Amino acid sequence: MNLPFEQASDLLNFAQEKTDGWKMFIGGKWVDSTSGKRFVSYDPSTNQPLAEVPEGNAEDVSKAVEVAKDAFPSWNKLHIDERGVILRRFADKIRNWAETFGMLDALDSGNPYEAMVADAKKGAGLLDFFSGLGMEIKGQTIQTPGGGLNYTRMEAFGVVGRILPFNHPISFAAGKIAAPLVAGNTVVLKPAEQTPLSALLLGKLAEECLPPGVLNIVTGDGPNCGSALVRHPHVYRIAFTGGVETGRRIIQDAGIKTVSLELGGKNPLIIYPDADVKKVAAATVAGMNFSRSQGQSCGSNSRVFVHETQKGEFLKEVISLVKKIKCGMPTNPMIDMGPVISKEHYNRVMSYIESAKEEGAELIIGGRHPLNPELEDGNFIEPTVFSEVKHGMKIEQEEIFGPVMSVLSWNDEEKMLYEVNDVEYGLCANIWTNDVSRALRVSERVEAGYVWVNGHGGKRFKGAPFGGYKNSGIGREHSLDELISYTQIKNINIRYE
Ligand code: NAP
């Protein structure tokens, strides 16, 4: 195990120094907020302050957008291969610092260290992937009446505003700037208020690799800093990952802009009687993401529909697997699960657990703060599973975004499929069966943008479009669709005369 720093304070000092005292990164320079205000980022394992970062407002956002606008023509003029070379170098540097980013995110987000190291590499991998895909930005030639040439060009928008949630900080900061930058846009990035540190440290590597103004990183809260980016008149493309309510707000504020939204999920995992119970139990526990992010992942299979004939055996397996999950300090590489992001979110998750009990669901494991005194001050919640969950209960309908899984049982396929689809979300769905015809038929019936047969939504592949139906979002990522979504079509007519 290669731990990058012996003490958390050494790591924080290192990152503070690299970011010139936790400043924002605008136009290749490290700057304070114009108001001089700062806000605190807390360690969710202890609820103690970790660092103070600038509280950016509309004025700071405007400065970032203007330098990004100035940097756009020369960045966009580079051949796509040249941008690819630069971005691959950037990706290499991120990989070299993967352990450092992983430890910083373990402190700032509460997600386990090893998972965050993997996240840093995943973000770097997306920079490589989109750099390689760049030449797929192509146009069309179109037949014209009476001769001539008509063709299309896929052109960059200019400045892209990228707004991130808290749950996979470095993976999203690095990976979600890849497609817009490859396509020739410049970017203003706003990380979540709870997890700004790794995004700021990423600015140090951007300083070494990218021309000034190509990537700008502003910190601040959503209603001021984020909203100013959404409303800014020189930003015509907004890409947002976060909750449904914020997504609605962004659509209202954006006006005439191209907006993509990656929103929440309440993802079903359906178990047919022919599925191997041991395998499906293991996939269910893995796909709930107890271990990578305390269930704080949009793709978690938080609603499990098990056939009533397997319910007993399935629950027994699930309990034995969940018992093995070790809750602990996320900086300790030996643990599986850390705290949820904030005290406020802890209380929210706990209130869902209470509501489930009140509505008659049966708590079969977890549901409380771990008893370990070392974890007393943090936002830790044991991995929690409810059985006897009924369709329509609050925990079955609403995205909890925490370590709480609901198990429903079924015996009537039509009724079960109705319940599977009767939620506002439509991100992922998972189907477990060995019957190929059934797998194909049910894949078509589920209302979800990303379907696994005999797998779970935690497993994603570069190139496979990811995104949601219904209120889970607009647009697709991780694929050519994402790259193309950062371009707009220009049609050109030429007469031969
Ligand atoms: P959130 O509360 O919606 O916040 C996301 C980002 O939006 C933050 O940077 C936030 O800023 C900012 N924001 C808030 N209000 C804003 C406004 N009026 N205008 C512009 N920006 C605004 O989401 P979260 O709690 O961080 O993340 C959890 C949600 O993200 C879950 O619903 C999860 O399912 C979803 N998610 C979806 C995907 C996917 O791929 N579909 C992936 C990951 C997460 P501050 O936090 O700084 O205030």
Q: Which residues line ligand 1 (CB under 6 A)?
A: 163-167, 190, 192-193, 221-223, 226-227, 230, 241-243, 246, 249-250, 262-265, 298, 399, 401, 427, 468, 473
The pLDDT of residue 136 is above 90: yes
| Structure confidence by residue, pLDDT tens digits, 74-129 | 999 999 999 999 999 999 999 999 999 999 999 999 999 999 999 999 999 999 99
**What residue ranges of the chain are covered by domains with CATH 3.40.605.10?**
8-263+475-490
If you classify domain 8-263+475-490 with CATH, what class do you get? alpha beta
| Structure confidence by residue, pLDDT tens digits, 152-206 | 999 999 999 999 999 999 999 999 999 999 999 999 999 999 999 999 999 999 9
Residue 290's H or E segment, with its range, is helix 290-293
66, 99, 262, 317: the catalytic one is 262
Question: What pLDDT is stored for residue 1 in this prediction?
Answer: 57
Using DSSP, state whether 66 is helix, strand or coil: helix
At CA 103, angle to CA 2 and CA 20, rounded to 5?
115
Taking the centre of ligand 1 as the mean of its atom positions, its distance from the CA of residue 356, in whole angstroms, is 25
CA-to-CA separations, 126 to 3, 175, 480, in angstroms, rounded? 24, 5, 12
Whether residue 262 lies in the annotated active site:
yes
Task: Give percent of the chain with pLDDT exceeding 70.
Answer: 99
The residue to which tokens 């271990």 are assigned: 291
CB 412 within 8 A of CB 434: no
Question: What pLDDT is stored for residue 271 in this prediction?
Answer: 98
**What residue ranges of the chain are covered by domains with CATH 3.40.309.10?**
268-461
Distance CA 14, CA 200 (A): 12
Distance CA 70, CA 83 (A): 17
Taking the centre of ligand 1 as the mean of its atom positions, its distance from the CA of residue 174, in whole angstroms, is 17
Residue 14's H or E segment, with its range, is helix 8-18
Single pTM value for the model: 0.98
Angle between helices 8-18 and 98-109 (to 10 degrees): 110
At residue 2 the predicted structure's pLDDT band, cuts being 50, 70 and 90, is low
| Nearest CA residue ID for atom 37, ligand 1 | 263
Query: What are the beta bridge partners of residue 488?
Result: 155
Q: How many CA atoms lie within 13 A of 360 on its CB side?
A: 6
Q: Determine the topology of domain 268-461 in CATH.
A: Aldehyde Dehydrogenase; Chain A, domain 2 (3.40.309)
Using DSSP, state whether 259 is helix, strand or coil: strand
* Mean pLDDT of the chain, nearest integer: 97
Using DSSP, state whether 353 is helix, strand or coil: helix
Taking the centre of ligand 1 as the mean of its atom positions, its distance from the CA of residue 289, in whole angstroms, is 18
**Strand residue runs (E) in 308-369:** 362-365
CB 453 within 8 A of CB 437: no
**257: DSSP letter:** S
| Nearest CA residue ID for atom 34, ligand 1 | 264
